[in-house]
Structure 1
Amino acid sequence: MQQEFFKIAPALQRIGEEAEKMCGEAFGRIDEISEYNQLKVLSAFTENHVSEYHLHGTTGYGYDDRGRDTLDAVFAQAMGCEDALVRHTFVSGTHALVTALFGVLRTGDTMVSLTGKPYDTLEEAIGIRGEGPCGSLKEYGIHYQEVAMAGEAPDYDAIPDACVGAKVAYIQRSRGYSLRPSLSVEAVGRMAKLARQKNPDIVVMVDNCYGEFVEKMEPTQVGADLIIGSLIKNPGGGLARTGGYIAGKAKWVEQCAYRLTAPGMGKEVGCSLEQNRELYMGLFFAPTTTANALKTAVFASALFELLGFGVTPRYDEERADIIQAVRLGDPERLIAFCQGVQKGAAVDAYVAPEPWDMPGYDSQVIMAAGAFTMGASIELSADAPLREPYAAWLQGGLIYSAAKMGILLAAQSMLDKGLLELR
């Protein structure tokens, strides 16, 4: 069937079939979690009496926007927490994270990262990279510390002492551009408990990007005060065109809302325009869409392991996010891989991505991102900085059967350039 539409070498096609057979048990686990989460989301919709009029937007100041406010309530229930701030006006996950940090932290406070160096795009916002006035936390007199990872795991023993005197304990669930494992909800809960061992009032804040609906629980259900993420990843279900969220304890969500809008206004303002329908639908589709992305990652892991490459996580490991890393070993393979993924996109498949100086990163980055929504990494995408270990970080896949072809095309692209030998 593949040969009718796409040119995949017969030997590669056979390896792909073998890889898919290896994935059966993992696929079963994913389906079971997806069904649980889908019913959880459905229950949140029905219990909050979502109606057709909630799907329409407001203009101007957005006073008494019942669609916006009900979406917050539905999202909070789905995430197992008190309140949520779900807005299309967050321009990215980084914007939502920075809003949360500035919402909670004040001059003289300390933020301690429990997962080592944070994701690249936060470095300038914190003030650990870059020069000159840019409104970073450092510029506002907010201190930063970090607990280095103990190999591939958090340094659990160091957490209690590191949190003494700090206002925020910051946890990044996803691996970012590293090869350490992403953190399970259980691991986040353990870290939250240790953070409060000697500082019971510390605010535990979790970058939840790529982790939503991967497990049956969210970090807010095991001790996190706030979780933050992007709507063009898992919780937007491939339908949200922009936006982000902050969810957790009502007190801290309110503080973040004051930062997003203005003190005294907070969540009471901000028109939804005509974004509500897509945000509601995206949340409703999110558990199933996330499951498709997970299956894509599992298949990619199995395929590239059979092809002789290092992968993390392996196809049969339990997962904490939708990201799959493939260690390709050199820049030529990395570029060919990303160009092959692009060929499997429904949009801009004819484009050949090249490395470029992307804002917020300290190395050139290549991104395969043929998507209906630009930058939507819940759609099949692959990206990487052009630096050691020349690994590709793969994520997304709205529809498994289509995304699987994108993975095969990534291998085929390497094969066509003489960068892959089939065993």
Structure 2
Amino acid sequence: MLDITAQFLKNKYRINDNVLDLYERALEDIKGQFEYYDKIREYNQLKVLNALQEERISDSHFTNSSGYGYGDIGRDALDRVYARIFNCESALVRPHFVNGTHAIGAALFGNLRPGDTMLSVCGTPYDTLHNIIGINKNTNIGSLREYGVKYKQIDLIDGKIDFESIRTELEIDKTIKLVHIQRSTGYGWRKSLLISEVEDIISFVKTINPEVISFVDNCYGEFIDKVEPTDVGADLIAGSLIKNIGGGIAPTGGYVAGKSQYVNQASYRLTIPGIGGECGSTFGIMRLLYQGLFFAPHVSIEAVKGAIFCSRIMELAGFEVLPKFDDKRSDIIQSVKFNDKIKMINFCKGIQAGSPVDSFVQCEPWDMPGYEDQVIMAAGAFIQGASIELSADAPIREPYIAYLQGGLTFDHAKTGILIALSKILN
């Protein structure tokens, strides 16, 4: 006899008995993983709580500045809270960053000059960075390439960092100013970098040339470990507030954090040289940024639990997944390889159908700004594009891999995944 929850899934969402059987098997297999990540969640919750207490945050910090935004105590205190959490000198947390790519772009443009070289050590960066760097050679868009900043990359070898090639480039090319480390996978088929691996890269680079800036794209990675890249030597990191660290409450924004000199340079590209972070009114959303940060350790682990469940049930259903359900994780993303365009699209449509918002619409592949291939995105979210909420996206290219992320609650994440799997198997 089915329990009341299983009966509801069957009656309301047409989840068949085969999928429900996989569901029960997956839940049993992943119990040990949940215990591990709950300990990380608890530690990070304490870390955030302590940072808020140390900065003596009060109701007066939930400011509503206008115009120039001079003297916005809530904005400036939030910068200090982030700096405490990331154990670094400085942070720039602003609603004016439109996404994580914008924050990364400000960090790169702020710290690279004509004649400098940016070296990516994790292969090709995420698709939306290609226009920033100038990889795709689009002209008249103001890319780093157009401003005389050169770009090199070192591809991974079987998913691992090629340290010898890094050594060769750093010893030969003295124009390398910044090493770019992408913690998450982007649209690749590899595991995200563990913090220990990030530490190894930074230590290796600094041994060869201590003046090189170590920059980490921290998107999707906050609060998935007990330490962050800045704890292990990263000079500069950047991320989005509508991913992990916004806790599903921050309505927009991004952050840059690290050494003061590099954060300041990034601030001059967010606004203008000489003003930087001194300006920028906050439109009355400071309470949401603080509250989202407070929820972020819990919500981030809920998303990880959804990813672990997705990994196990999709593997049981016969699909190739990365990472495996029992692999150690460094971000909230779960990759599923379909080797079939229609199955991949139907999976994304199933996630859309399982959303609390716009569940009745059909997502379709389209030419999305900043991407080289058509992309299908399932994102029935309370905040547009918030990938800490349950979402899935996939470039329309072989071998047809979908990337699932988010889930404000595990209960919702697993329901959306069950609907998506049923849409494929039915």
Mapping 1:10-409, distance limit 5 Å:
10-164=17-171, 165=174, 166-409=176-419
Letter in 1 for 2:355: A
Q: 2: CA distance between counterparts of 1:237 and 1:380?
A: 12
Report the CA distance between 1:140 and its aligned residue. 0.4
Q: 1: CA distance between counterparts of 2:128 and 2:331?
A: 19
8 Å Cα contact 2:139/2:146 also seen in 1: no
8 Å Cα contact 2:63/2:72 also seen in 1: no
8 Å Cα contact 1:311/1:324 also seen in 2: yes
153-162 vs 387-396, which moves further: 153-162
Deviations 1:295-328 (A, max 9, x none): 0000000101100110000001110100000111
Report the CA distance between 1:163 and its aligned residue. 2.7
Q: 2: CA distance between counterparts of 1:11 and 1:104?
A: 54
Q: 2: CA distance between counterparts of 1:182 and 1:136?
A: 27
Q: 2: CA distance between counterparts of 1:39 and 1:133?
A: 47
Report the CA distance between 1:56 and its aligned residue. 2.1
Q: 2: CA distance between counterparts of 1:144 and 1:391?
A: 27
Letter in 1 for 2:412: A
Aligned to 1:2: 6
Report the CA distance between 1:142 and its aligned residue. 0.6
Q: 2: CA distance between counterparts of 1:376 and 1:65?
A: 26
Letter in 2 for 1:79: F
8 Å Cα contact 2:303/2:332 also seen in 1: yes
Q: 2: CA distance between counterparts of 1:393 and 1:298?
A: 13
Report the CA distance between 1:413 and its aligned residue. 0.6
Report the CA distance between 1:81 and its aligned residue. 1.1
Deviations 1:57-90 (A, max 9, x none): 2001011100000000011111111110000000
Q: 2: CA distance between counterparts of 1:372 and 1:85?
A: 25
Report the CA distance between 1:354 and its aligned residue. 0.9
SS at match of 2:146: helix
SS at match of 1:270: coil
Deviations 1:94-115 (A, max 9, x none): 1111100011001111110111
- TM-score, length basis structure 1: 0.97
Q: 2: CA distance between counterparts of 1:89 and 1:162?
A: 36
Q: 1: CA distance between counterparts of 2:399 and 2:147?
A: 35
Q: 2: CA distance between counterparts of 1:311 and 1:360?
A: 26
SS at match of 1:111: strand
SS at match of 1:254: helix
Q: 2: CA distance between counterparts of 1:79 and 1:67?
A: 18
| Runs of 4 or more consecutive aligned structure 1 residues displaced over 4 Å after TM superposition | none
Report the CA distance between 1:118 and its aligned residue. 0.7
250-259 vs 203-212, which moves further: 250-259
Letter in 2 for 1:213: F
Q: 2: CA distance between counterparts of 1:253 and 1:133?
A: 27
Runs of 5+ consecutive residues of structure 2 not aligned to the other structure: none
Q: 1: CA distance between counterparts of 2:104 and 2:362?
A: 31
Q: 1: CA distance between counterparts of 2:370 and 2:66?
A: 32
Report the CA distance between 1:161 and its aligned residue. 2.6
Report the CA distance between 1:394 and its aligned residue. 0.4
Report the CA distance between 1:49 and its aligned residue. 0.3
SS at match of 1:169: strand
SS at match of 1:197: helix
8 Å Cα contact 2:95/2:282 also seen in 1: yes
Q: 1: CA distance between counterparts of 2:229 and 2:170?
A: 19
Report the CA distance between 1:197 and its aligned residue. 2.0
Letter in 1 for 2:326: D
Letter in 1 for 2:7: Q
Deviations 1:149-197 (A, max 9, x none): 1121111222223234211011001000111111011111110111122
Q: 2: CA distance between counterparts of 1:350 and 1:21?
A: 32
Q: 2: CA distance between counterparts of 1:60 and 1:271?
A: 6
SS at match of 1:167: strand
Letter in 2 for 1:128: I
SS at match of 1:183: coil
Q: 1: CA distance between counterparts of 2:415 and 2:423?
A: 12
8 Å Cα contact 2:183/2:221 also seen in 1: yes
**Alpha-carbon RMSD:** 0.9
Aligned to 2:424: 414
Q: 2: CA distance between counterparts of 1:32 and 1:256?
A: 34
